Amino acid sequence: MIKLVAFLGNYGREYEKTRHNVAWYFEDSLPFASRLSWQSKFKGEIASCTPAELSQWACDYKICSKKDGTPVLVPEDAPQHIYFLKPMTYMNLSGDSIIEAASFYKILPEEILVVHDELELTLGFVSLKWSGGLGGHNGLRSTKAVLNTADFWRLRFGIGRPDNPNIGIADYVLSRFTEEQQEIMQNVFSQTTLLLVKLLLAPEPSRLIDAWGKKKLV
């Protein structure tokens, strides 16, 4: 089961709601975000909850529940805690924060979910991926380097490539979504929240790949 969710992004107000910070944007949008208590540690900000708490929150905020309206059952082999991490190292050093948290809590690479932006996916798409290439993403490159493996989970938000070929990729990913695109992303986030909860309460996350390997939400 997944024990650590790492939301990749750059620290600083100038990066708020930029394409490269879409993972932080997603975390901020979570209905239960206010229930998480963050503290500075591991070169980042970290929070945690128990699987039972997450299941209850999912029920409270009508994300998912059993047919009778009660919280979904927590697997018997669920971890004691689920950790949420926002590295404050800047994108290209994200792995430094992830490895510190993973080492401290004895979390294996295959128990880590990295949430990040994806140029090769069109805006409105999300993708759940296990292992594989890095797509030139500096945050993923840093994570692979410190974990010494690419075998970790990724939740990818499509941001697409710039329509104007004269706009450099670096400038593009560090630019903000337009108001129209922000509305699209809010819709995407709302639907992806269900996926995140299912992932964190699923004994076998791989079972979700068929439905979420590449999904158009908007």
Catalytic residue, from 20, 81, 116, 137: name it: 20
User: Is 73 in contact with 203 (CB distance < 8 Å)?
Assistant: no
**If you count them, how many residues does the chain have?**
218
Record the tokens describing residue 55, joined without a space: 């299941």
179 Cβ partners below 8 Å, 6+ apart? none
User: Is 5 in contact with 47 (CB distance < 8 Å)?
Assistant: no
User: Is 153 in contact with 2 (CB distance < 8 Å)?
Assistant: yes
The reply to whether 20 belongs to the active site is yes
Task: Give exposure, 59-74, as e/b (b: 16+ Cβ within 10 Å).
Answer: beeebebeeeeebbee
Record the tokens describing residue 63, joined without a space: 């994300």
Q: How far, in Å, CA of 11 to CA of 105, rounded?
A: 24
Q: How far, in Å, CA of 48 to CA of 106, rounded?
A: 15
Record the tokens describing residue 78, joined without a space: 């669920």
Q: How far, in Å, CA of 15 to CA of 174, rounded?
A: 7
- Point out the residues that are catalytic: 20
